[in-house]
Amino acid sequence: MLMPLLSDNELRETRCLIDGQWIETEATYEVRNPATGELLARVPCLGAEHAREAIAAAERARPQWSAQPAHERSRILKRWHALILAHLEPLAQLLTREMGKPIGEARAEILYGASYVEWFAEEARRAYGQVIPSHDLSKQLSTVREPVGVVAAITPWNFPNAMLARKLAPALAAGCTVVAKPAEQTPLSALALSKLATLAGVPHGVLNVVLGDAVAIGAQLTANPAVRKLTFTGSTAVGRLLLRQCADTVKRVSMELGGNAPFIVFDDADLDAAVEGAMASKFRNAGQTCVCANRFLVHEAIYDEFAERLVRAVRDLRVGEGSQAGVTIGPLIDQRAKAKVAALVMDALEQGAVLLEGDAQMPGNFFAPTVLGQVNAQMRVAREEIFGPVAPLIRFVDEADALAQANASDAGLAAYFFTRDIARAHRVAAALKVGMVGINTGAISTETAPFGGVKQSGFGREGGPQGLEDYQDVKYLCLGNLR
Ligand code: ADP
């Protein structure tokens, strides 16, 4: 393994990256630690003009980068992967400070992000085309896969490292150049990751990072004809807007939007495993993940038992600053997020839900892990993406009821269920209208499998072989007059 090459200070980059130059501007905005309110940095507040420059740089760099043999790009990505691992600890600490998650989860995120870099370094070399059985012996038919061109990547704050790595790695591996716009709340992890990319040998202009006015930058990234693909992870509302904005230039688009994952516990489930899966799925990142269990559908015969066990496990969680040992739940990202989660809990309680565990009196951005009993499908907490450490429990009577409730959502990202019946496992997995299913597990994400949704959770896949294809166009060649 490589030794760290950058000091903590060098890794803590606060400038934007355009055409290989780290740039500062007079206009800046503040980045604060959501646990303490501490000022961490001031970073540039860029607008449409800088976004245009970044796109132009990416367009200039594109021909040479895309023409490199895949193993050259692969080599740079492998070096980037090694550099990320060599800086694991300072990257994790930076992540915890700007985003709030417990340091153990931050380390896991850096490793998870790095796993995509390694995976796509490998996949770059396997971008096979096809020879197609011909309809006419005088013609040979084949396909090749080509990079789509300049890619715009807009990412959220909940996984500031991994959500970006998951887009940059396949884009760069495919031979695309990129303009990235990370979330305003968590720019430091994105800048540090990008700095390591430049250190690994990603050439000038191949990767550009802009921060600032999301609306103005987003408008430029979507309207500019040089950008051939937009990849977005974030809220469904912003995703819809960006989709509309991409229509005029007919861009390729990948959307990883909100979820409303059902977590079904059948009466034949292994309850210990179900509770363990529930804790992993619901409370990781304080419930701020798009694949989080959002609704617990529990068979009426085991409802009381499951509720009791879940509450016991939730009481063992420890809320606090992510950097402190033993803390398992960090703060929510900001006051707006906290107010939204509190409003969902309040709405449920007013409509007859029961507070099985929780504490309304947490300071700052902290929110106590909460379990709500007697929830029904009409309550906001069951219909909206919670994005907080709140577990609503809903009863069901049989498999058909569970499936009807599970699928009664516009979202279709992830679903989880627990059963020991193998026939039921097949039936239910087939019937769930989602992009990803966890069967007897609450943890499904890995770089080797395609991550993505259906319905209003979006389209496109990140990870797996499909993750590379998302950044490639298929070109069909018809070679004629062969005889
Ligand atoms: P959240 O509500 O979780 O912050 P958002 O969808 O608002 O999710 O944010 C995800 C990403 O989208 C962030 O990088 C944010 O800056 C960006 N974003 C928000 N609004 C726009 C917009 N109008 N155009 C382009 N990007 C946007």
pLDDT at 220 over 80: yes
pLDDT at 162 over 70: yes
**Number of the ligand 1 atom closest to the C-alpha atom of 182:** 14
Say if CB 333 and CB 100 are below 8 A apart.
Answer: yes
Say if CB 273 and CB 426 are below 8 A apart.
Answer: no
By alpha-carbon position, which residue is closest to atom 23 of ligand 1? 215
Phi, psi (deg, nearest 5) at residue 64: -70, -40
Q: pLDDT band at residue 447, thresholds of 50, 70 and 90?
A: very high
Alpha carbons 250 and 223: distance in angstroms, whole number: 10
pLDDT tens-digit map of 223-249: 999 999 999 999 999 999 999 999 999
H or E segment at 255? strand 252-256
Phi, psi (deg, nearest 5) at residue 78: -65, -40
Instruction: Enumerate the active-site residues.
Output: 256, 290
- CA 236–ligand 1 middle distance (angstroms): 10
Calculate mean pLDDT across residues 479-483. Answer: 95
Q: pLDDT band at residue 359, thresholds of 50, 70 and 90?
A: confident
Q: How many Å from the N-terminal Cα to the C-terminal Cα in the chain?
A: 56
H or E segment at 144? strand 140-147
Alpha carbons 263 and 437: distance in angstroms, whole number: 10
Joined tokens for residue 321 = 């600053």
Q: Is the dihedral of CA 371, 376, 380, 383 positive or negative?
A: positive
pLDDT of 107 reads: 98
pLDDT of 360 reads: 76
pLDDT of 1 reads: 60
pLDDT at 3 over 80: no
pLDDT at 76 over 70: yes
- % of the chain at pLDDT higher than 70: 100
Say if CB 192 and CB 11 are below 8 A apart.
Answer: yes
- CA 458–ligand 1 middle distance (angstroms): 15
Question: Residue 81, Cβ neighbours under 10 Å: how many?
Answer: 23
H or E segment at 131? strand 130-132
Alpha carbons 391 and 373: distance in angstroms, whole number: 9
Look up residue 462 and give its DSSP letter.
B
Calculate mean pLDDT across residues 103-132. Answer: 98
pLDDT at 2 over 80: no
- CA 183–ligand 1 middle distance (angstroms): 7
**Number of the ligand 1 atom closest to the C-alpha atom of 245:** 24
Phi, psi (deg, nearest 5) at residue 326: 90, -15
Residues with CB under 6 A from ligand 1: 154-157, 181, 183-184, 214-215, 218, 234-235, 238, 241-242
- CA 353–ligand 1 middle distance (angstroms): 32
**Number of the ligand 1 atom closest to the C-alpha atom of 218:** 25
- CA 69–ligand 1 middle distance (angstroms): 35
Joined tokens for residue 480 = 């004629």
Joined tokens for residue 222 = 């979507």
The pTM (predicted TM-score) of the whole model is 0.98
pLDDT tens-digit map of 43-73: 999 999 999 999 999 999 999 999 999 999 9
- CA 131–ligand 1 middle distance (angstroms): 42
Alpha carbons 90 and 206: distance in angstroms, whole number: 25
pLDDT tens-digit map of 304-340: 999 999 999 999 999 999 999 999 999 999 999 999 9
Alpha carbons 8 and 239: distance in angstroms, whole number: 35
pLDDT at 458 over 90: yes
By alpha-carbon position, which residue is closest to atom 2 of ligand 1? 235
Residues in the chain, how many? 483
- CA 113–ligand 1 middle distance (angstroms): 20
**Number of the ligand 1 atom closest to the C-alpha atom of 154:** 14
DSSP string, 313-340: HHHT--BS-TTSTT--B---S-HHHHHH
Could you tell me the strand order of the sheet in which 252-256 lies? 21-23, 16-18, 207-209, 177-181, 150-154, 227-233, 252-256, 458-459
Look up residue 212 and give its DSSP letter.
B
Greatest CA separation for the chain: 82
Look up residue 451 and give its DSSP letter.
B
pLDDT at 94 over 90: yes
The rounded mean pLDDT for the chain is 97
Phi, psi (deg, nearest 5) at residue 429: -60, -40
pLDDT tens-digit map of 251-284: 999 999 999 999 999 999 999 999 999 999 999 9
- CA 247–ligand 1 middle distance (angstroms): 18
Q: pLDDT band at residue 132, thresholds of 50, 70 and 90?
A: very high
Alpha carbons 458 and 454: distance in angstroms, whole number: 6
Pocket of ligand 1, candidates 154, 158, 220, 245: which has the most ligand atoms within 8 Å of its Cβ, to mutate? 154
Say if CB 277 and CB 442 are below 8 A apart.
Answer: yes
Joined tokens for residue 258 = 């909100």
Output the CA–CA distances (angstroms, integers) from residue 337 to 212, 334, 385, in the order listed: 20, 5, 11
The residue whose two tokens read 């409303």 is 260
Output the CA–CA distances (angstroms, integers) from residue 16 to 43, 124, 211, 304, in the order listed: 8, 27, 7, 53
**Number of the ligand 1 atom closest to the C-alpha atom of 387:** 3
Q: Which of 246, 369, 245, 250 is nearest to 319 (CA)?
A: 369
By alpha-carbon position, which residue is closest to atom 15 of ligand 1? 183
Say if CB 67 and CB 174 are below 8 A apart.
Answer: no
Alpha carbons 163 and 166: distance in angstroms, whole number: 5
Look up residue 377 and give its DSSP letter.
T
Say if CB 222 and CB 197 are below 8 A apart.
Answer: no
